[in-house]
């Protein structure tokens, strides 16, 4: 029985220098080199990385949700007269 690959294992998919990619920085929209040489990847700079961290810390990123239903729409017998 084959063992599953461990987390962080190379699995033969590592990018070689010839395969480095240019991606869009999620913060500023500029070009960012996605390679091990870029310590801030997928961001283009330390500033963009810190701006993103600040947005998470201040809870700017949230999952959209609907407001919980009120009891009124279900006919709460305590409030009906």
- Summarised one tens digit per residue, pLDDT across range 24-80 is 999 999 999 999 999 999 999 999 999 999 998 888 877 777 776 665 656 666 665
Q: What is the pTM of this model?
A: 0.53
DSSP code of residue 29? -
More confident residue, 20 or 24: 24
Task: Report, as an integer, the average pLDDT of 11-22.
Answer: 67
In 10 A of CB 43, how many CB atoms?
22
Nearest to 25 by CA among 50, 8, 59: 50
Can you list the domains of the chain with their CATH numbers?
20-60 (3.30.50.10)
* Helix/strand/coil percent split, the chain, to 5: 25, 10, 65
């Amino acid at each position: 029985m084959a063992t599953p690959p461990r987390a962080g294992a190379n699995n033969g998919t590592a990018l070689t220098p010839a395969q480095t990619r240019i991606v869009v920085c999620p913060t500023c929209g500029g070009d960012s080199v996605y390679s091990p040489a870029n310590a801030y990847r997928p961001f283009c700079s330390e500033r963009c990385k810190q701006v993103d961290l600040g947005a998470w810390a201040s809870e700017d990123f949230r999952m959209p949700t609907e407001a919980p239903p009120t009891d009124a729409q279900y006919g709460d017998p305590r409030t009906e007269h």
